[in-house]
Structures are given as structure tokens and as C-alpha cells.
Amino acid sequence: MERKICENVIKERHSTRSFSGEEVSMADVMEILEAGRLAPSAKNRQPWAFYVLSNEEKENVVNMFIKRLEEHNTEATGFASARIMKEASKVVLVFMDDKNEYDRTTDLLSVGACIENMLLRATELDVSSLWVYDVCVVADELKEIAKASGRLVSAVILGKSNTDSKRAIKKELKDVIINKNI
């Protein structure tokens, strides 16, 4: 029975890029962060820390992000993320401990596992999500705002979906298995 629930959530999870503005409760956000906390990590270092942006603080961050994009005339994807952050209810900033340079790759993999746990739990709670990296152009400013000790590596945008999102096309299983006879 447990396995079935997991399978459905994995299939249901997808990136959402249009949000209704409807609130996601802090109780749900805490459940999502809890799922991240429980993720596997190399040497059990748990190299992550979270900071939740909402309301006015989120608005201010979005405006600062747009200003930076305009100054640097960067690609359009950043502007799209800014618009999505504006529409969504919450943005979780994900920081990674960066003291241990030697283990940077395994720490990044661990943070990836942590974020995927969050996305799956969000799906289970009927909260739509988008994993974004492009907000890292304002990593230094966000580190300062969050008073974080680590480096910003991603953000998870959370909200209620507006429309049925177009699903990304995935490679077939046969195209990603290298074995010839399996």
C-alpha cells in the first residue's frame, strides 16, 4: 500500500509555472521542510538550511531580483521565475554548507535529494511547486537577508496551481538504460 502512494506522487509531481495566489499554510510548509530534513545525505552531513519567504519580504526579494536582471540584461528565464515567485504563496530558499570544499559534489547531491523529498511531499499535500536555480543571481543578497552561513543553491516555489501545467516530455526508460539485454 505504502509503495502505491509513493508511485502516484512521483508520477503526479511536475513543475508548475502558473500560480493562483492562493495561500499555502505554514503548517503545510513545515511538513514540506520536514520531508527535506529527513532526506539522505553523504556522511549524514545534512548540509542544508532553509529560509521561507512570504508576503512583503517575498515581494521585496522579487523586486530586487527583477532589478538585478534588468541591470544585467540577462536571459528571459530569470524574469519568468520572478513573475512565478510573485504569483506563488511561499518561496523556500535552500542554502548549502560551503565550509567543506572537498565534499562539494556529495553535498550538492545531498541537497538535491533533500529538495526532491520536499517536492514529493508538496505534491502529496496538493501543493504545487517549482524548483528554481536562476534566483541564485542574487545569492549574495539572499544570504544576507536570510542571515545564512551557507551558499544559496536553489529555491523551491510553493503555491496553488492556476491551470493544468503542460507536462515535460520525459525520455523512455529503454533510452536511459545502458544494458542491451535486460
Ligand X SMILES: Cc1cc2nc3c(=O)[nH]c(=O)nc-3n(C[C@H](O)[C@H](O)[C@H](O)COP(=O)(O)O)c2cc1C
Binding site for ligand X (CB under 6 A): 14-15, 77, 81, 130-134, 168
From the CB of 89, what's the least distance to ligand X, in Å? 17
Residue 118 or 148: which CB sits closer to ligand X?
118
- Minimum separation from the CB atom of position 46 to ligand X (A): 19
**What's the closest the beta carbon of residue 180 comes to ligand X, in angstroms?**
28
Residue 131 vs 160, nearer CB to ligand X: 131
* Angle, CA 139 vertex, CA 159 and CA 120 arms, to 5°: 35
Least distance (Å) from ligand X to the CB of residue 132?
4
Is 25 or 74 the residue whose CB approaches ligand X more closely?
74
- List the grid coordinates of 114: 533533500
Centre a 10 Å sphere on the Cβ of residue 21 and count the other Cβ atoms it contains: 11
Question: Which CB atom, from 55 or from 77, has the smaller least distance to ligand X?
Answer: 77
**Listed residue (156, 171, 177) closest to 29, CA to CA:** 156
For 164, residues 6+ apart whose C-beta sits below 8 A from its C-beta are none
DSSP state of 34: H
> Which of 164, 158, 166, 165 has the alpha carbon at shortest distance from 21?
158
